[in-house]
Structure 1
Amino acid sequence: MPPSLAPGVTRREAWAWAMYDFANSGYTTVVITAVFNAYFVAVVAEGAAWGTLAWTSAIALSYVLIILSAPLLGAYADAYACKKRLLLLSTLGCVLFTAGLALAGPGTLAIAVVFVVLSNLCFGSGENLIAAFLPEIAREEAIGRVSGWGWGFGYLGGLLSLGASLAYVSWAQAQGHTAAQFVPVCMLLTAALFALSSLPTFLFLRERSRPQLQAGARHSARVAFARFAQTVREARRYRDLLRFLACTLCYQAGIAAVVTLAAIYADQAMGFTTRDTLKLILLVNITASLGALLFGYVQDRLGHLATLTLTLFGWLLMIGLAWAAEGPPLFWLAANIAGLCMGASQSAGRAIVGLLAPPTRRAEFYGLWGQAVKLSSILGPMTYGLTSWLTAGDHRLAMLITGSYFVLGLLILASVDLKRGRRAALADW
């Protein structure tokens, strides 16, 4: 048995779990970060001044739906031991709705918004569910590195989808095609790669949790509400988890703003073309993969909280460089620092929640983590979007204000006691 994996977990199963990160990263890379967001503003919204705000509002709506549903979906998955079945449903939804984005073109705002909202809702639900498998497949002392394997492998999946899109865009532009012609094809490529790459997850990943209700009990949504209500009543027992979720809310707001609006910032503030932006995101995915893999091991040696603190200071450095950049060289440096920190901070956050979650409520507590992440994904991009709108398109100021979220995250992180939180998680198990 590999020393990093829990008893009974094989390398093939760990690979199958990591393959889901590989599969779903194409969606965030191509749709949210590199291609469709800029396409939405420039083509679907036809370059209108409200385009960036419309994009961030659509993303915010999808996150509101995730915030409302994530803990309940997790509580249901815990009660009936059905994480894998719910993961399959969310995956099918994301694949189909991503393919639906191919229907979006100039002036088709309603179509674009509907499919963005639905695809991102399904993506976020699946992201929470796959994370809940992490404590089942990794040993406690190796949860950081195993989380890093998933994130590192995931960015390679983003590279595959982005590379395929870049290759097609280069060919299409050489043929004289417009964005309205080649971006829809990129959406179909992304959906197809997500579907194919996720197959190992559903073939080899095991559902190890056990139903927590009496045999023969009927499935009911009321069970999920009851379990979540119990968690709310007992919230004081998990004060370190609550503090970490508040920390997550802050630093992930900064990350979300950078990830969601990177292509728009590159286009509006740096004058990048679509092809330039794709190349930039391609390189950033490489550095993010390296950051997730490297810092996964650092977490297990240096400590999860110390590692996360280090990466948040890295994010502040990145914000300063992006704000100061007057041309591509400094901006490229800032973007690659963001890549290193992105892989490290996201891997660390997922591992910390795994340590603070009670074993019988992992899906529910990862749902709470997902709730915090998605709320942050409203706050960060909306702060950026509103700042840009109110300042008549001052993207540099919007980027600078984004840095305040990392400062708040650092202040809250200093109050989290991981050992105390772990004791609370195991107290009633």
Structure 2
Amino acid sequence: MTANTPPAPQRDVRGVISWALWDWGSAAFNTVILTFVFTVYLTESVAADPKSGSESLGLALTISGVCIALVAPVTGQRSDAGGRRKLWLAVHTALVVASTAGLFFVRDDPAYLLLGLVLISVGSVFSEFATVNYNAMLLQVSTPATIGRISGFGWGLGYFGGLIALVIVLIGFVQPEVGLFGVTSQDGLNIRVVALFAAAWFAVFALPLFFFVPEAESSGEPLRRAIFSSYVVLGKRLARMWRTERRTLGFLVASALYRDGLAAIFTFGGVIAAGTFGFTATEVVVFAITANLVAGLGAFLGGRADDRFGPKTVIMASLIGLVVVGGALVAVPGKPAFWVGGLLLAIFLGPTQSASRTFLARIATPGREGEVFGLYATTGRAVSFLGPLAFSGFIAFFGTQRAGMGGIVVILLIGLLAMLPVAAPDRSGNSDDLATTDAP
């Protein structure tokens, strides 16, 4: 074993499935709350009008992105040093569950818009903090030969978890006049109950990870109790990365750009379907179910392609597909066009996300996975204002919600171009940054 080779991880099937089930559970927040159901409810029913609601949602998520950018790398660094990844994953998961459940109190009245935006933003912040440690645990349940397919398995399971959750939401709460437990649409009760369902879904399916995936070992570095000291350590780490890990920094910057475009698709996809293409709430959920099925299959296949061709090949091919299809959706009208284009987008989303995670995992310094995934979250959030700003800005400049999709495509294209010069990782499991970069 070389100095840069990660220690042998836990490879049992039970650990892999338990790890992936967290992704299945988190889909309740990402898919049901943030993308297809509750944000649509906020912009279409709670806000005074869809245009102002969309702009307010974009602003709220921009603020949450700043919070993530400032704190995420330090939380990852400290969990590495203390060997407490699983503990902090549990804390942050619980906070996401709590903020999701709190959305039950958001009635369909403009007076409740601020409450809804605050809870959505809080959930987004702690969801990202949780994901930092969850992603870092990938190396605990995989090997260099299987990391792509296991990452793809996790993403795929997340999409299928979102699919099943959306089916339950559709037939149990959204579609019928009187849903489960006798709920109706009065005061937005049917959608508010969906928030309680999503909170319970996440809580239940997150539990196996905490029982069957072992805690990470400490990185061996002393844990600095003062938060400020953690930022000093982070600054020194970034300076060292600039000298010796130039590829890692290049990837963090490029992925920050295109991942912001991906996040914008997830956040505003349902909003665009309803506001631009005339989808009803039921049609939005039906589309979301189909899109999650397609995206899940794409993630599984992309994971296998990752192990065979490498993560950079998968990322580049997927980004090209996203830019081409997204650009077409800006110009082509009608529900059929959104169905075709939206499902094509879904095919490329999963592989891009999964391969990005494995790209970074393959080049991460052993023992610093939490820190580097914290930087992954931070660099993404450091420019996270771009997606919402491009979406809201294009709407304001061109005067139509459809133009917002054009802003998202521009961000994806910039990320694609930034990814071109980043060297592909060695798939043997060695973190050989210096061997493949021009760093001095």
Same topology, TM > 0.5: yes
2:212 to 195, 204, 209: 204
Counterpart contact for 2:387–2:408, Cα < 8 Å: yes
Report what 2:412 is aligned to: 406
| Cα distance, 1:112 vs structure 2 | 1.3
Residue 13 of structure 1: aligned partner: 15
CA drift of 1:59 comes to 1.2
In 2, are the aligned partners of 1:254 and 1:380 still within 8 Å (CA)? yes
1:95 aligns with 2:97: yes
Q: CA deviation at 1:362?
A: 0.6
**Where does residue 192 of structure 2 map in the other structure?**
184
- The aligned residue for residue 234 of structure 2 is 228
Aligned pairs for 1:100-119 (under 5 A) are 100-105=102-107, 106=109, 107-119=111-123
TM-score for both structures, normalised by structure 2: 0.90
Q: Match of 2:160, as an amino acid? A: L
Seen in structure 2, the aligned counterparts of structure 1 residues 197 and 113 have a Cα distance that, compared at 3 Å, is same
Q: Which residue of 2 aligns with 1:81?
A: 83
The question of whether the paired residues in 2 share the 8 Å contact of 1:21 and 1:154 is answered with: yes
Structure 2 counterparts to residues 325-336 of structure 1, below 5 A? 325-336=332-343
- SS state at 1:108 partner: helix
**CA offsets, 1:47-71, max 9 Å, x none?**
2642111011111111111111100
Alignment pair present for 1:352 and 2:365: no
What is the aligned counterpart of 2:151 among 128, 147, 152?
Answer: 147
Cα offset, 1:131, TM superposition: 0.1
Verify the 8 A CA contact 2:219 2:367 in the aligned structure 1.
Answer: no
Instruction: Give me the whole-angstrom Cα distance separating, in 2, the residues matched to 1:39 and 1:179.
Output: 11
The correspondence of residues 11-160 of structure 1 with structure 2, limited to 5 A, is 11-47=13-49, 49-105=51-107, 106=109, 107-160=111-164
- Measured at CA, do residues 380 and 34 of structure 1 come closer, stay the same or move farther in structure 2, by a change above 3 Å? same
**TM-score normalised according to structure 1 size:** 0.93
Report the CA distance shift for 1:343/1:6 in structure 2 as closer, same or farther (over 3 A): farther
Q: CA deviation at 1:389?
A: 2.4
Q: Do the aligned partners of residues 68 and 7 (structure 1) sit closer, same or farther apart at CA in structure 2, a change above 3 Å counting?
A: closer
Measured in 1, the distance between the counterparts of 2:213 and 2:187 equals 39
Contact 2:310–2:424 (CA under 8 A) maintained in structure 1: no
Match among 148, 171, 175 for residue 170 of structure 1: 175
Mapped to 1, the partners of 2:151 and 2:408 lie a distance apart of 26
Partner of residue 311 from structure 1, selected from 312, 318, 342: 318
Give the 3-state SS of the residue equivalent to 1:254 in structure 2.
helix
Matched letter for residue 126 of structure 1: A
* Aligned residue runs from structure 1 range 285-300, under 5 A: 285-300=292-307
Opposite residue 381 of structure 1, the aligned amino acid is P
| Structure 1 residues 419 and 197: alpha-carbon distance in aligned structure 2, compared to 1, 3 A threshold | closer
Give the alignment partner of residue 281 of structure 1, picking from 267, 276, 288. Answer: 288
Supply the AA of the counterpart residue of 2:217. Answer: S
| Partner amino acid, structure 2, of 1:118 | V
In 1: Cα distance, 2:431 partner to 2:392 partner: 38
Which of residues 427, 432, 435 is equivalent to 1:423? 432
Shift of 1:136: 2.4
Q: Output the aligned Cα RMSD.
A: 2.2
Mapped partners of 2:51, 2:153: distance in 1: 41
Residue 9 of structure 1 and its aligned partner are, at CA, apart by 2.1
Task: Structure 2: give runs of 5+ residues left out of the alignment.
Answer: 1-6
The separation in 2 between residues aligned to 1:211 and 1:247, in whole angstroms, is 27
Query: By how many angstroms is 1:397 displaced?
Result: 2.3
- 1:315-370 CA distances to partner (integer Å, 9 max, x unpaired)? 01221332233212221111111111110000010001101210121100000111
Distance change (3 Å), C-alpha of 1:254 and 1:231? same
- Specify the code of the residue in structure 2 equivalent to 1:115: L
2:102, 2:119 within 8 Å by CA — same for their partners in 1? yes
- Higher mean C-alpha displacement, 247-256 vs 375-384: 375-384
In structure 2, do the counterparts of structure 1 residues 310 and 218 end up closer, same or farther at CA, with 3 Å as the change threshold? closer
Residue 234 of structure 1 aligns to a residue whose secondary structure is: helix
Amino acid at match of 2:374: G
Q: 1:7 to 1:246 in 2, by over 3 A?
A: closer
Contact preservation (8 Å) 1:102, 1:184? yes
**CA-CA distance at 1:218 after TM superposition:** 7.4
Instruction: Note if contact 1:79-1:224 (Cα within 8 Å) is conserved in structure 2.
Output: no
Give the fraction of aligned pairs with identical amino acids, expressed as a percent.
28
Letter in structure 1 aligned against 2:307: D
Change in Cα spacing, 1:223 to 1:146, as seen in structure 2 (3 Å) is farther
User: Quick one: distance in 2 between partners of 1:337 and 1:52?
Assistant: 24
